[in-house]
Amino acid sequence: MLSNIKFFEEKNYVFLFLFFPLTLFIGIAVAEVLATISIFYYLLNSKNKINELKDIKIIFLLFLSFYFAFNALIQINDSLKYSPLFFFRFVLFSLSTAFIFNLINKKNETNFNNRFFNTIIFFTTIILIDSVIQFILGQNILGYEIIGNRISGFFKEELILGSFLIRILPILIYLIIFFNYDLKKNYFFFLSFFILYFFSIYISAGRTSFTMMLIFTLLSIIFIKKLRKILLHCLFFLTIIIITISFFELGKTNPSNRLFVKTFNQFTNQIFEKKKLSPAGILEIDTESPKNKEDILKNIKIFSFNHQGHIQLAYELYKKNKIFGVGPRGFRYYCKSVNFDPEIGVCSTHPHNYLIQILSETGLIGVSLYCFAFLFVLFKIFNCLTLNVSSNKKNEFLILSFGLIIYFFPFLPSGNFFNNWLSLLNFYLIGIYFFSYKRIFQL
């Protein structure tokens, strides 16, 4: 009787935990609570946690997290507010994620797997349909209106719909492969689902999200034969839909204008700003268009005027302490406490690029660790391709690896590396990656 109760509780907890990514659109507090519960569940139930903590990958991540914490404590006066003192909890969260997926793999219950997967597809589809409704009608099913000419869906004022969708995409595709769904048998269903999925990312008008989607999709097409046909067809139909919507000016927003036209203008600084001081000593900003091709080439920016300003400012901060940086979240701290010359750069909460943020805030030590981790993922992709293991296990590992590549891609604008919302999603994927890694490299 007791064993049946324990199994019931375990199965329901696992079912709840698998929905973790979807809890992030409810609110960060709900996700934090579930992550904390999962860590305690892992610590209380795992019999191999001591050995797992000795894993070189875990030691590396723990060292990284403690380096972040002590670096901030030493360098930032208001460290309790700004420093990631408890960043190590994300490492434990990744271990708890790997532990849960190991439980699922051991149980291998088809009914449970199907029930979970059908449920998560159902709720994801609601999010996708809701975004399309908002695009067509100007408000979603809860009455939330379009914010700043962009679709936000259930996120209301937060323009993170595209970021959310692209970050759970590798997880959804991984689950399709992990649960061994027959793509040929369910071809039209999955084709429709992913066309809707890609379209929702497009109408969210998140330029980084859209680029991440293209990189992830192209990598999957090149390396995973099982997904090649369906993803190629998705891209084809998405292109037709984008052309049709743009030509007939359908919908309440114009995603193509922001994704393509505005991006080109910002890269080439077609409408660029000139800063000057008035006779009264007041900073004035004039805008003007370049007159010729030479003007355009002279004014090419890294992503945009503001993005380049963030990078310039981050580099100035990096020069203050090249070895250790100015401390995690130090960019935000210095922006709030120091008056910078406008010519040096543009202030913000973070530099909007992982590589630049880690360089300026954690110095050469931090950026070396970041580059090492990124190169490790790349190396293991090619290592995986040479192994004599089942194609399904290879595909699972590759999908997760591609997910990590787009999550931490160094040459795109990004959110705050130390943001809790992003860190929870990042380490959830890392946890699944650890589980898949063990199934391939530690047989």
The structural domains of the chain, with segments of one domain joined by +, span 2-257+352-441, 269-303
Indicate the helix (H) or strand (E) that contains 275: strand 272-277
Using 50, 70 and 90 to split pLDDT, how confident is the model at 27?
Answer: confident
Element (H, E) at 236: helix 225-248
Contact 360, 318 (CB under 8 A): yes
For residue range 196-254, list pLDDT tens digits in order.
999 999 999 999 999 999 999 999 999 999 999 999 999 999 999 999 999 999 999 99
| Lowest model confidence (mean pLDDT) among 26-30, 416-420, 421-425 | 26-30
Give pLDDT, residue 273: 45
pLDDT over threshold 70, residue 186? yes
CB 77: neighbour CB atoms within 10 A?
10
SS (H, E, C) 278-311: CCCCCEEEEEECCCCHHHHHHCCCCCCHHHHHHH
More confident residue, 282 or 385: 385
Residue 281 — left, alpha, or beta (φ > 0 → left; ψ -120 to 50 → alpha)? left
Region class of 217: left (phi > 0), else alpha (psi between -120 and 50), else beta? alpha
What pLDDT, in 10s, does the model give residues 285-331?
444 445 455 555 556 666 677 778 888 888 888 998 999 998 888 88
Residue 419, pLDDT above cutoff 50: yes
Residue 153 burial (CB count, 10 A): 30
pLDDT confidence band for 3 (50 / 70 / 90): very low
pLDDT, average across residues 347-375: 94
Residue 148's closest CA among 137, 159, 140, 139? 159
> Distance between CA atoms of 39 and 49, rounded to whole angstroms?
11
Conformational region of residue 33, where left means phi above 0, alpha means psi within -120 to 50, and beta covers everything else? alpha
In whole angstroms, what is the distance from residue 19 CA to residue 34 CA? 10
Q: How far is CA 439 from the centre of its chain?
A: 24
Q: Specify the residue for token string 């302490």.
A: 321
Q: Model confidence over 260-295: pLDDT tens digits?
A: 888 787 777 654 444 444 444 443 444 444 545 555
User: pLDDT: is 85 or 130 the higher one?
Assistant: 130
Backbone angle region of 106, left / alpha / beta, with phi > 0 → left and psi within -120 to 50 → alpha: alpha
Q: How confident is the model at residue 83 (pLDDT cuts 50, 70, 90)?
A: low
Question: Which tokens belong to 31?
Answer: 């996700």
Number of helices (H), then strands (E), belonging to the chain: the values are: 20, 2
Tokens for 108? 């291998």
pLDDT band of 332, cuts 50, 70, 90: confident
pLDDT, tens only, 337-353:
555 554 566 788 889 99
Q: CB under 8 Å, gap of 24 or more: what pairs does 104-112 form?
A: 104/14, 104/18, 105/435, 105/439, 107/11, 112/11, 112/15
